[in-house]
Structure 1
C-alpha cells in the first residue's frame, strides 16, 4: 500500500503563505503608491507655481505708491560734510547747505583715583534727557570705580548710558557716556549714601568731556538745530546725514530726475513675469514619446493662470509697446532699453499710468495674482485638497494593512488545519500499513 508523504507545515506549506499574501497586497500597494506619488508631485508643482507667481506679485507691488515715478539723482559738492539720499517725493531743485556743527554724545569723567579705592556706598540716580531715572544701588564694599562701572552697566544696559573705566597715569577714571546725541542725551546724576557725592553732576567732581552738542545746519540761510546727525524731516523726501562740521562753508545739493531706478524696476518685473510663465510651462508640460508628462500635465489650473496673465498683457500691449516692451512667441517679455529711456524722458508719468496704484496693468494683474495666491486662492485650495487626499490615503493604507493581516492569519489557519489533516492521514496510513502487513504474515504462516 502506498504511504502518504507529509513534508510538514514549516518545511513546505509555510513557504506558500508569504507568496499568497504578497500577491494579495501587490495591487493595493501599487494603487496607494501611484496615488501618493502623483499627489506629492502635484503638491510640489503647485509650490513651484506659487513661488513663481509670488515673485511676480512682489515685483508688481514695488510700483505702488510713488515708486512708479522717476527717481531722484543727488549731486553734492566735494567734501561737503554731509551725504544725502532722496525719494520720489523730493522736489527737483538745488540747495546751498552749511554744516555748522555735529550732534555729539554727552560724556562725563570722574576724578582719577588709585585702583580699588572705595568711594563709598549708597545709590546713583541717572536721568538721560527727560527719560525716567535709572536707579543704581552700590553696596557697601562694592564702591570701587570698577564695581560702580559694572553696577551701572548691569542696571542701565540699553537705557541710554554706558560706563567704562580708563586707566591713566594718575589713576582710574570712570567715563559715563550717553548713547543719545544732542541735548536729548544729556545726563543728570544725583546720589544718596556715603561718599558717592563726587559722582553727582551738581556739586560733584565730574568733568564734562563732551557737552552733548546739538547739530546745526543752514539750508539756503535757514538754520535748523537738532539732536541727531540724521536729518530726515528738514526737506520733504530728502535724508541728510551729517559727517563733518564745516562752519561758514557752503556746499550745493542738487536733485535731478533719474530714470535708472524705474528702469531697474521694469526689468525686474519682466524677469519675474518670464519666470512665472516658465514655471507654468514646466509644471504643465505634456509628455512625449520617450518621456512622461509633468506633474500638472493636463491640469486646467496652469492653463487658466497662463491665459489670465497673458490676457492682461495683451489688453495693455499698446501701452507696453510704447515703453519698449516686446513679447516673444512663447509669451515672454523683453525690453528695448533705449526706447524706454527716450519715452520716459518725454513722458515721465508713462509707467505710473500703467503700473501705478490705479494703473491699467497693475490693478487687474494684482487682483488675478491675489486670487491665485491668497488664503482663499486657487493654489492653496488645490494644495489643501491634495494634502487632505494624502491624509485620507494614510487611513486607507492602515485599513488595507489590517485586512492583509487578516488574510495572512486566515491562510495560516487554513494551512495549519491542512497540515493537521495530512498528519492524521499519515498516521492512519501507517496504521493500515501495519495491519495489512500482519495479515499478510498470518496467511503465509
Structure 2
C-alpha cells in the first residue's frame, strides 16, 4: 500500500478539502472495493463449508471403515449345560470366533536360493512378475546391481509384491511376498540371464530354486455346528520356591543358570550378592521367567515362575557354590555327588530339611555286616519319613544317592564328618507345568495355553474351569443374524446422518415476501457436493456380481422419497435366514457395497480427492482476491493523495485571490478618499 503524500488543511482557503475529498473517495471506493470484499466473504464461507463437509464425510468414513467383513459374516457361540446336578459347572470357558489369523486370507511368500554377498546381477537383465490373472510387470536392471539393488528395483516397480532380504549361514535370500492375500493372488516369475534363478512357475515342469515358504490362503470362517466339550485340565505355568532364607543371606561364589523348556540357558549375574540382587538379575535376563521375593517374619523365599504355561515350559535351575540352594531339576529329583561303591561312614550325622521341618538322621548298620554304607543311609532317610524318598543310582562304577520329594516343599540334605560329601538341595515345586486338556466330540486335545486355538476351526476357547463328570456341555456355533442386522443398521444410520448434514449445508430458503432476501446455506448450489452425493447413492444402488444377492433392494434396504435409506426388517430377516452367505457377500465381498463405499470415501477424502482439490482451488481464489483488494487499496490511496493535493492547491489559489481582491479594494478606497 502506498504512503499518503497529501495533507489536508481547512485553514488554507475557503474550501473544506477534507469533506470534499471524503465525498469523492466514497464514490471511488464504491466502484470496485465492495464487490471484492463481498467476493472474499463468499469464498471464506465456501472454504468453511467444505471444511465442515470434510468433517462429516470423515465421520461417515469412520463408520464405514468399522464395518469389516467380520461385521457381515459374524457368528455367535452359545454354551449350554444339560446337566441336572445342583453343583453343575457354570461357564468353564468363553469363546472367540474368527478372532485369530487362522481364518484370515494369507499372502503367498517365496524365497530364493542363497546368494553370496558379493553376487552382481547384470544391467539389462530382467524379471517379469505376475500376480494372479493380472498382467506381468517387467523389472529391468538399469545398472549392475547387488541383491539389495534387485530388491529395491522390484519394490520401485509396483509389481504387487514386497521384496526383502534375509541372511542365513548359507548366504542372502531374496524373499517376495504378494501384497494381496488369497489363492487368486499367487506369484509367477519369468527371469533371464543373471536373474534366471528367480524364476518361479509351479505349473511348468521347469526346475526352479525359488521355494514357497508360505502358501496363499483364502479367508474362511468357523465351522457352524454343535460340539460336546469337556475341560479336563487347565494349563499351568511352572512355579517353584526356595527354602526359607535368613534375612541378609548372601551369594558370594558359584554360578546360577536358568533354562526354560527348550530355550537357551541364561547365566544369571547379580549386580549385588543379596537375594534382591539375584531376583533383579533373573528378571533382567532373557530366561523366560519372573522372580519375586516373598517375605515373612521367619525369613525370605525366592519364587520363580515361568512366563508361559505348558508342559514344555518347565524350569531347570542349576546352582553351584552359594547358589546351590536355588537348584531345581524338572524331574523332581536331587542327585547327590557320586561316591565309590565301597564307601562307608563311621562318624557324623545328616540333617534332612523338607520345607520348614528339619530332621537329624544318624544312619545305623541295618544289614549286620558291621559297616554303614550308602544303602544304610538310604534306609535311614526313608525311615525318617520327612517328605523325601531316597534311592540309589548305580552307573557301574559309582553310586549316587537320589532324593525324590514327595511333596511341594524345598528339600535339602547336609552331612557332617564322614557324611560331609552327602549334600544337595532343591527348590520346591508350587505349581506343576502342564498343558490344558479338553475333549471335543470325544477327541482329546492339548494346548500349552488356556487359550485353545483352532481345535474347532476358527474358534478360540478361553478356558477358566475344569468340568466334572456330571456336566454335559455343548457348544453351538451358528451365523449371527443379530450381528448382521446391527451392521446393516450402522450402514443405514451413517448414510442418513451424512445426508442430513449435507442437506443442512446446501439448503436454500426462497423468500416469499417482496424485498426480503432469500436465505442460502454455505454450500447451496455447489455442483461438487451434488456430484459426490450422487456417487454415494449410485454405489448404494449398484448391482454386485459374485452370486447370491446382487442389490441392497433385494434384502430390504431402499431409498425413501426424502433420499434417506430405510430397512424393511421382515424382508431383511428373511434374506439373512435363507441366504446368510449371499447377504454377507453383497456387503463385504471384493466388489461388495461396503467395500466399494470404503474405496469411494477414501478417494473423495484423498489428497487429490474432490474435497481437497476444491478447497485448494478456493484458497487460491481467496489469495488472488486478497491481492486484488490490496491493489485497489493502493490505487485508492494514490487517488486520495491526488485529490487532496489538487484541492489544497486550489484552496491556496482561492485564498491568494481573496487577498488580492482585498488589497485592490483597499487601494480603491484610498484613491476615492483623495
Of 33, 36, 39, which aligns to 2:47? 39
Taking the TM superposition and a 5 Å limit, the aligned residue runs for 1:13-412 are 23=29, 28-52=36-60, 54-55=61-62, 57-58=64-65, 61-62=67-68, 64=69, 68-69=72-73, 71-77=75-81, 78-79=89-90, 81-87=92-98, 89-120=221-252, 124-134=256-266, 136-139=268-271, 142-153=272-283, 155-156=284-285, 160-190=288-318, 195-201=322-328, 205-246=426-467, 248=469, 251-255=472-476, 257=478, 258-289=480-511, 292-311=519-538, 320=552, 323-352=555-584, 354-357=586-589, 362=592, 366-367=595-596, 370-374=599-603, 380-391=609-620, 393-394=622-623, 397=626, 400-401=629-630, 404=633, 408=637
Is the Cα contact below 8 Å between 2:239 and 2:431 reproduced in 1? yes
Question: What is the SS of the residue equivalent to 2:278?
Answer: helix
Q: CA deviation at 1:14?
A: 8.4
Q: How does 1:416-435 map to 2 (within 5 A)?
A: none
Residue 435 to residue 106, structure 1, CA distance change in 2 (3 Å): farther
CA distance in 2, matches of 1:271, 1:212: 51
Of 387-396 and 419-428, deviating more is 419-428
Partner SS for 1:181: coil
Q: CA deviation at 1:126?
A: 3.7
More helix by share: 1
Number of residue-to-residue matches in the alignment: 427
Higher relative contact order (CA 8 A, sep 6+): 1
- Measured against aligned partners, the alpha-carbon deviations of 1:18-68 in whole angstroms (never above 9, x if no partner) come to 99599486554443333223222233224324533x256436x53x3x754
8 A contact 2:317–2:328 mirrored in 1: yes
Q: Which runs of 5+ in 1 are unaligned?
A: none
Aligned-partner SS, 1:31: helix
Of 130-139 and 430-439, more deviation after overlay is shown by 430-439
Q: CA RMSD in A?
A: 4.5
Distance 1:230 1:291, change over 3 A: farther
- Does the CA-based 8 Å contact 2:604-2:611 persist in structure 1? no
Deviations 1:274-318 (A, max 9, x none): 233333433332333265222322222333344444445556699
Give the alignment's TM-score, normalised by structure 2. 0.52
- 1:417 Cα shift? 9.7
Residue 395 of structure 2 is matched in structure 1 by: none
Contact 1:229 1:243 (8 Å CA) reproduced: yes
> Which residue number corresponds to residue 111 of structure 2?
none
1-side partners of 2:519 and 2:21: how far apart? 37
| TM-score, scaled to structure 1 | 0.75
Q: 1:376 to 1:220 in 2, by over 3 A?
A: closer
Find the structure with the greater CA-based Rg: 2
Which blocks of at least 5 consecutive residues in structure 2 are unaligned? Answer: 1-8, 82-88, 99-219, 330-423, 512-516, 544-548
Say if 1:201 and 1:390 are closer, same or farther in 2 by CA, change over 3 A: same
Indicate conservation of the 8 Å contact 2:64/2:597, yes or no. no
* Residues 229-288 of structure 1 deviation map (CA, whole Å, 9 limit, x = unaligned): 011221102211111223656532232534222222222222223233333433332333
CA 1:439 to 1:294, structure 2 compared with 1: closer, same or farther past 3 Å? closer
